[in-house]
Amino acid sequence: MKTRELINLLASDGVAERLRPVHAVLLAAAGSLVASALMFVLLLDPRPDIRTAAASAPFLLKLFLVAILAFTALGILFRLARPEGVVGPWSFGLLGSAVLLAAAVAVELLTLPPSIWIMRLMGVEPLACLASVLALSVLPLLVFLVLFRQCAPGDPPLVGAVSGLAAASISIMVYLAHCPNDSPLFVVVWYMAALLIVVLAGFQLGKRVLRW
């Protein structure tokens, strides 16, 4: 086929896809929040002490740490949703999150006697916590992937992975209303384990479903 013939064809096609990348990311974030909230309502209950906990420092610290992760992930996705987008300075956001988490864990370990470190690490029902985060993250990850299929992501596995990060961190923020474990050590091990699983799932799925 001559290129002129292809151009004739394309110029005749007036139907345009409507979803712009910026809107795709916003819609995905909102959709993820709704999806994980829905799963929360179906599967879990708020922690009994939610009213007092919600104002407590440990809870707010957890919320803050995860919110920064979610914010960074979305910031990266706004850029990567375009074909020419690169992560750029947002990688420092990820580094910053890691540093903050490490600092919170360090403070906890230094202010508490070693004899209760293991107890803090294991907390209350860690595997249920991990499973719950995974359950809450499934729909959000799918929401991100479905919406990115309408875009043109330059690096499908990377976009999939960061979508996993966004989906998991948004889901964790919702999950915080249930989780009775306030220890940063617990968060780093169990929440981050769940997050890593979702990121890996996003990476593998992105490779397959985000091609265009």
Partner 1 sequence: MLMQAALAGDSSAYRKFLVQVAPAIRAMVRRKLAFLAAPRCDAEDIVQETLLAIHLKRQTWDTTRPIAPWVAAIARHKLIDSLRRSGNGRVDISVDDLPEALAPAIEVQSRGDLDRLLAHLQDRPRSIVKALSTDGASVKETAQRFGMSEGAVRVVLHRAIRKLAALYRTKDK
Contact positions vs partner 1 (CB under 8 A): 1-22, 81-84, 151-152, 154, 211-212
d(CA 30, CA 35): 9
Looking at the Cβ atoms of 24 and 129, the one nearer to partner 1 is: 24
Looking from the CA of 132 toward its CB, the CA atoms found within 13 Å total: 25
Q: Which is nearer to partner 1, 64 or 212 (CB)?
A: 212
Q: How many CA atoms lie within 13 A of 57 on its CB side?
A: 2
The residues, any chain, with a CB within 8 Å of residue 153's CB and separated by 6 or more, are 80, 81, 83, 159, 206, 210, 212
Q: In terms of CB distance, is 6 or 38 closer to partner 1? A: 6
Distance in Å, CB of 15 to partner 1, minimum: 4
Residue 195 contacts residue 165 (beta carbons within 8 Å): yes
Distance of closest approach, residue 11 Cβ to partner 1, in angstroms: 4
- For partner 1, the closer CB: 1 or 110: 1
Q: Which is nearer to partner 1, 17 or 42 (CB)?
A: 17
CB of 159 to partner 1, least distance (A): 12
Query: Buried b vs exposed e over 26-52: b needs ≥16 C-beta within 10 Å?
Result: ebbbebbbebbbebbeeebeebeeeee
- In the bound complex, what is the minimum distance in angstroms from residue 140's beta carbon to partner 1? 22
Minimum distance between the CB of residue 145 and partner 1, rounded to whole angstroms? 16
